[in-house]
Each structure stands twice: as structure tokens, then as C-alpha cells.
């Protein structure tokens, strides 16, 4: 049986979402969202395989004397980097026994660390794949637009120079549609395909000197959203024409784009199927 589960997390305390293994075991001292989820899932769900009838929660994965076992594997809709948050990450996992959603969700949330939670558990078809079946991803980036800091700004990026929302929107409009986004990818992009389709790219001012940028696309390249934001800030900071965004896009050259901004303030909001 296959289940889909929605996951929320605060990413600042984790080295991204993806499990990091070395010689078949988690890398010592590196905590990830996937590791914590699989540990909790495997604690609650027993397998019929005698060799895997162990709870990962009871194991010390860094010990050479104990084999690291993953009875339950969590497949994510996509990876998020260190510091990136989620309110709508989707995973799927397989189990041989049916699950009572209300009890399962309560128990999972009791086991998981305080900065990770789950909700909206659904049984899905065996053909469902959290990553491959996804039709779109919705990301939001927030930053503070104020010269002076405030104790309650948290980890959000603070942009000291004033930004013009109307100009930023004109810049973002050039990104709508299907394009080669090579200019906005980091060198760590493994997928050779650089073509993405953006159906939404909007910005607005919110309460407390916050600026919000919402971007929805069928797929995203490594650090793509953060580099788009960095390019927007370069345009505003140097008073460039919004058409500069179009020139960067068409150049298909990473060196033409702005810096990749901090991951703090980036949130995966929703994945649609």
C-alpha cells in the first residue's frame, strides 16, 4: 500500500531535506529532514521482513557494530537545501498494512522533532510518485526591506535599500512561460534539462516591511528561486532596467545573473498533482 503525506518543517537546523549517506550509513553529525522522517516512520510501521523488523529509533546509526536499516523509505516531491522551510512538502512511502490516519498522524508528530510536523495522510495508487507525478511547485521568498534591524526579523534577509514593487513585478514578468533557465542554476544541478515553465511570478509588500515573492513552476533548477531573487535585488540595487532580467534569461549564462541569496525566507508552499 502506498501513502502520501504532507510535511512541514523549519529548515535552519538541518542540512537540507535529502538523506546523506556514506558507506551505507548517515554521515555523522549531519541531520536531515528525510532521516528524521524515515526514523519516525520506521518506528511506527513494522515490516514482515524478519531481517528488517527493527526500529531505526532504537539504533545508533554512527556505530560500526550496528547495521543501518531503512525499513521505510520516504520519497520526496523534491529536495530543499539547508535553511529552506516547508509548509507543503509531499512524500510517499510504502507499507504492507493499512494505516489509521488520525492515530498515525498523532503518533508521528509526537515522535518527530519540534521543528518537523506532518498532516494530511492519504492512501494513493501504486503508480503515484511524489516527485514524478507532481504537476507544479509553489515557492515563496520573503525578505525585510528596511535599513535598521528589528529583534523580531529572525533569519530573514534584510535589504537596506528601498525596492520598487512595480519595477520588480515588471522584471518577474519576463520569466513567465517556458524558458531555458541556465542563467539561474547553480553548478550543482545534476539534471541536464534546464527548461522550466513558470505559471506565476508575483511580488507584493506585506505587513512589517516584508516583501513577498511567489513563484510557481512545473520544476525548478538547483538554487533557481534564490538566484532569481538575487537578480531582482541586483536590478533594484543598481537601478537597472527591468528588461535586464530578460537579458539575463536569454544569455543562458550564470555569470550574468545576480548572487544566490540566503535560503532563509524561502518556503516550499505547495505541490500540486
Beta pairing partners, 145: 159
Q: Ranked by mean pLDDT, which of 93-97, 110-114, 206-210 comes out on top?
A: 110-114
Please give the pLDDT value at position 171. 98
Q: Among residues of the chain, what percentage have pLDDT more than 90?
A: 79
Determine the Cα–Cα distance for residues 114 and 226; give it in Å rounded to an integer: 26
Strand partners, 69: none
Which CATH architecture best describes the domain 2-124? 2-Layer Sandwich (3.30)
Instruction: Indicate which residues carry an active-site annotation.
Output: 81
Confidence at residue 202, expressed as pLDDT on a 0 to 100 scale: 98
What's the Cα-to-Cα distance from 70 to each of 39, 216, 220, 242, 263, rounded to whole Å? 8, 33, 28, 49, 29
Most confident of 66-80, 187-201, 207-221: 207-221
Give CA–CA dist 183/246, Å, rounded: 11
Q: What is the pLDDT of residues 53-66, one digit of tens each?
A: 443 333 344 444 34
Q: In the chain, what are the domain boundaries?
A: 2-124, 136-272
Could you read off the pLDDT of 136-170 as tens digits, one per residue? Answer: 999 999 999 999 999 999 999 999 999 999 999 99
pLDDT tier, 259 (very low <50, low <70, confident <90, very high otherwise): very high
pLDDT, averaged across the chain: 89
Q: Pick the residue with more confidence: 224 or 55?
A: 224
The DSSP secondary structure of 152-186, one letter per residue, reads: T-TT--EE-S---HHHHHHHHHTT-EEEE-GGG--
**Which CATH architecture is the domain 136-272 placed in?**
2-Layer Sandwich (3.30)
pLDDT surpassing 90 at residue 223: yes
Q: List, for residues 97-131, the tens digit of each pLDDT value.
A: 899 999 999 999 999 999 999 999 999 999 999 99
Above 70 in pLDDT, residue 203?
yes
Amino acid at each position: 500500500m502506498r501513502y502520501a503525506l504532507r510535511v512541514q518543517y523549519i529548515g535552519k537546523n538541518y542540512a537540507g531535506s535529502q538523506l546523506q549517506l556514506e558507506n551505507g550509513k548517515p554521515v555523522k553529525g549531519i541531520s536531515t529532514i528525510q532521516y528524521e522522517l524515515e526514523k519516525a516512520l520506521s518506528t511506527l510501521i513494522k515490516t514482515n521482513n524478519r531481517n528488517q523488523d527493527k526500529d531505526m529509533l532504537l539504533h545508533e546509526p554512527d556505530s560500526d557494530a550496528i547495521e543501518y536499516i531503512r525499513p521505510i523509505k520516504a520519497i520526496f516531491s523534491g529536495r530543499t537545501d539547508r535553511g529552506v522551510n516547508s509548509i507543503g512538502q509531499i512524500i510517499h512511502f510504502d507499507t504492507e498494512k493499512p494505516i489509521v490516519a488520525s492515530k498515525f498522524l498523532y503518533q508521528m508528530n509526537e515522535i518527530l522533532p519540534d521543528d518537523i510536523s506532518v498532516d494530511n495522510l492519504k492512501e494513493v495508487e501504486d503508480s503515484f510518485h511524489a516527485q514524478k507525478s507532481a504537476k507544479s511547485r509553489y515557492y515563496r521568498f520573503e525578505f525585510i526591506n528596511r535599513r535598521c534591524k528589528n529583534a523580531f526579523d529572525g533569519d530573514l534577509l534584510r535589504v537596506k535599500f528601498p525596492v520598487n514593487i512595480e519595477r520588480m513585478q515588471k522584471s518577474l514578468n519576463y520569466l513567465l512561460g517556458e524558458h531555458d533557465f541556465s542563467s539561474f542554476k547553480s553548478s550543482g544541478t545534476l539534471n541536464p534539462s534546464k527548461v522550466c515553465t513558470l505559471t506565476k511570478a508575483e511580488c507584493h509588500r506585506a505587513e512589517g516591511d516584508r516583501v513577498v515573492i511567489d513563484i510557481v513552476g512545473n520544476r525548478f533548477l538547483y538554487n533557481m528561486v534564490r538566484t532569481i531573487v538575487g537578480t531582482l535585488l541586483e536590478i533594484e540595487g543598481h537601478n537597472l532596467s527591468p528588461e535586464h532580467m530578460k537579458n539575463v534569461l536569454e544569455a543562458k549564462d550564470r555569470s550574468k545573473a545576480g548572487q544566490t541569496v540566503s535560503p532563509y525566507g524561502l518556503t516550499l508552499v505547495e505541490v500540486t498533482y
